[in-house]
A = this chain, B = another copy of it.
Amino acid sequence: MKSRFWQALIVLLRLGAHKKPVEINTVKFGKLLGVSQQTASRRIRELLNAGLITREVTRKGQAVSLTNEGVEALRELYLELKNVFEEVPKFLTLRGEVFTGIGEGSYYVDLPGYKKQFISRLGFIPYSGTLNLRLKSSIDVLNRKLLEKMPGILIKGFFDEKRTYGDVKCFKALINDSIEGALLLIKRTHYGEDVVEVISKENLRQKLGLKDGDIVEVKVFLE
């Protein structure tokens, strides 16, 4: 459809021509479109020929209605815009400060009961160790809590002779906009709720040259 038709259709929609015939003359219509009376007159005839409106000419002007086709064209435009503007965010970003844990990360990651699932569900063989991040801002903590409510990727817990190992929820993630990995939300952790752990197939500390106190950005994909 010619792009100048859209403007005219939207003006008519604004006047309510999708519900009932709208009384309008070519001078007014021209003003609304920012064109001359002659052009407004021609525009109406163009829309008419395109089957987008119907009208009845009276002595005072014309009663113009959008046809179903006209309304549907606008609805299509609406739905397209809706898709963009009402889109649920597909990722969120957490920022946290690197710190050294007690080294249990590598122990857990290497447990076959977890490791097999990491490989199959995340698509990479995790490096033996986790990067601990402490969230510094309250908005990051809030976002972390939000993640707890999302489905994510659930790594099932298991048990051996000694003890049981809890479920781990994880999300695919991009670390510092460069390295792919995953964010782990470990249910039973001795850390507070301001701590998250990150894994990757790489040694993140080495690859990113990180030391304690550095800030790392994790883009978390919500599936």
Contact = CB atoms under 8 A, between A and B. Distances in A.
A63 interface: no
A85 B82 CA distance: 11
B81 A78 contact: yes
Interface in A84-114: 84-85
A184 to B, nearest CB: 27
**How many copies of this chain does the complex contain?**
2
- For this complex, into which size category does the number of interface residues on chain A fall? 10 to 19
A84 B18 contact: yes
A84 B82 CA distance: 13
Contacts of A14: 80, 84
Contacts of A59: none
A157 to B, nearest CB: 36
Contact of A6 (B6, B74, B85): B6
Contacts of A74: 81, 84-85
Label chain A's interface by main secondary structure. helix
Given A3-B3, A4-B4, A10 B75 contact: no
Contacts of A6: 3, 6-7
A13 interface: yes
A6 B3 CA distance: 8
B80 A10 contact: yes
Contacts of A80: 10, 14
A108 to B, nearest CB: 35
Contact of A81 (B4, B7, B77): B77
Contacts of A81: 10, 13, 74, 77-78, 81
A217 to B, nearest CB: 16
A127 to B, nearest CB: 28
